[in-house]
Amino acid sequence: MIKGRRNKEDEDLEGGSVGEPGVTELVEEALKGKIEPKKIIESINDAMVTVGKKFETGEYFVPDMLASAEAVSVGIDVLEPHLLKGGKTKEKFVVATVEGDIHDIGKNIFAMMLKGAGFDVIDLGTDVSADEIVKTVKNEYAEIIGIGLSTLLTTTMGNMGVVTERLRAEKLEKNVLVGGVAVSKEYADEIGAIYCDDAFEGVDKAKELIKKG
């Protein structure tokens, strides 16, 4: 994933490695070896963190980021049938990557796992403004139990706070779950949100919110 190789036919970012197992083959091999999908997702998350750091230090550029993102997306596609195994609920859940951030892999993993847990997921995509998020919450107010927000960039993290402020101003006192490489529990507490270390914890906390009513 870090090298941006979707399958064994792909070159790595330096033009080599053709013929060696890519993400598709490695994920399939892991599943055949009875490695839990959760463990594979954890490895994907680790790869995302590494790629993000390489981008921030200038070692990777936008094309490198996109190649890695495509490789991760392929891995998620292979994993999807093994993750979508949950009961059904009636609760809606809005997910989005905040304005200024176009990264969607973490959001996509979270959305997929929420669907597997039975939630009716409304995925607004990436670079989503506070206005659009608030509008969606208003339109779906009766059933929404939470809003999942993610960001990879520290420069856009403040937009999470903008969303929570707008929701409070509109008297939409909903639970907001936040996560992403740039996000910390301290920041989540500061903006009045619920911190999630990864997608698995996010789904667990969403289920807890249902039980609490």
- What ranges do the domains of the chain cover? 23-83, 92-212
In this prediction, residue 127 carries a pLDDT of 92
Which long-range contacts (C-beta less than 8 Å, at least 24 apart) are formed by 36-41? 37/79, 37/82, 37/83, 38/200, 40/75, 40/79, 41/79, 41/83, 41/109, 41/198, 41/199, 41/200
Q: What's the CATH fold of domain 92-212? A: Rossmann fold (3.40.50)
CA distance 113 to 121: 10
In this prediction, residue 146 carries a pLDDT of 60
CATH number, domain 23-83, options 3.40.50.1220, 2.102.10.10, 1.20.1440.230, 1.10.1240.10: 1.10.1240.10
Tens of pLDDT, residue by residue, the chain (213 residues): 899 899 999 998 888 889 999 999 999 999 999 998 878 877 887 887 788 778 778 898 878 877 887 888 788 888 878 876 655 556 788 999 999 888 887 788 788 778 767 788 899 999 999 999 999 988 876 345 467 777 777 888 889 999 999 999 988 877 899 988 888 999 999 999 999 988 778 888 888 887 776
pTM of the model: 0.65
Cβ(2)–Cβ(68) below 8 Å: yes
In this prediction, residue 142 carries a pLDDT of 39
